Amino acid sequence: MQRPVGQYRYYDFVMAAFVAILLCSNLIGAAKAAQMTLPLVGTVTFGAGVLFFPVSYIFGDILTEVYGYGRDRRVIWAGFAALVFAAVMSMVVLALTPAADPFNSEYQTHLQAVFGNTPRIIAGSVIAFWCGSFVNSYVMAKMKIASEGRRLWTRIIGSTVCGEFVDSALFYVIAFLGIWPNHQLVVVIVTQYVLKTGWEVLMTPVTYRIVAFLKHRENEDYYDRHTNFNPFKLKT
């Protein structure tokens, strides 16, 4: 049985960091296509937000590993609600008629360019995050039980491989199927998937240190042996 949230010292801070990173990675640079030249690979085009979005999965791994699936489930729903609110707020703000002066007329154009995502892109982002995050947390929790808490790196990588695949595939299919050529769609999905997964693999030593710190300071190392994994159940 998990302790009440109020008995944890750092849980609220981890939740706040998770939601902040999630919102920023979806709002800042998400629409920007960036390029990078890699050795042996050449020039790779990717969404700028991909550099930071995987960090939310790192926090998901940390939450599940230390506090358990039930606590991470609450954080995922908090992130989902934040994304929906941000989408609604952006639509309302853009729908408002700007003041009749040159500054606001130009500013409206810039806001439209940055936040005027199509409904398909917004839907893809929200649905992909929700599904991918729950897959990541579920795999992490089940692998911890199966390994009896050993080999944390296998859980970090294994859950990421599954969660990021679901996230990448759902987002691009929902947002761009029928708009982009199928070949281009597949190439982008694979590229984003490899970049996001590779980034989290590189961050594994950092994840280890944060997990060790939290387990020690919280005196918690939760195993989801009797957890109800229903994603719609908010009770821990």
Cβ pair 224, 65 in contact under 8 A: no
What element of type H or E holds 35?
Answer: strand 33-38
Report the CATH number that the domain containing residue 110 is assigned in CATH.
Answer: 1.10.1760
Residue 220 has a pLDDT of: 94
pTM confidence score? 0.88
Residue 129 lies in a domain: yes
Residue 213 has a pLDDT of: 96
Task: Determine the Cα–Cα distance for residues 231 and 146; give it in Å rounded to an integer.
Answer: 21
Q: Which of 133, 2, 135, 148 is nearest to 60 (CA)?
A: 133
Residue 66 lies in a domain: yes
Task: Determine the Cα–Cα distance for residues 56 and 207; give it in Å rounded to an integer.
Answer: 12
Residue 159 lies in a domain: yes
Tokens, residue 163: 């969660």
Residue 5 has a pLDDT of: 63
Q: How many domains does the chain have?
A: 1
Residue 227 lies in a domain: no
Domain housing 50: 5-218
Residue 223 lies in a domain: no
> Over the range 46-55, which residues count as b (16 or more CB within 10 Å of their CB) and which as e?
bbebbbbbbb
Residue 226 lies in a domain: no
pLDDT at 184 over 90: no
pLDDT band at 234; cut points 50, 70, 90? confident
Residue 102 lies in a domain: yes
Residue-wise pLDDT tens digits, 191-229:
888 888 888 889 999 999 999 999 999 999 999 999 999
pLDDT at 64 over 90: yes
Residue 225 lies in a domain: no
Residue in the structure block whose two tokens are 């609110």? 85
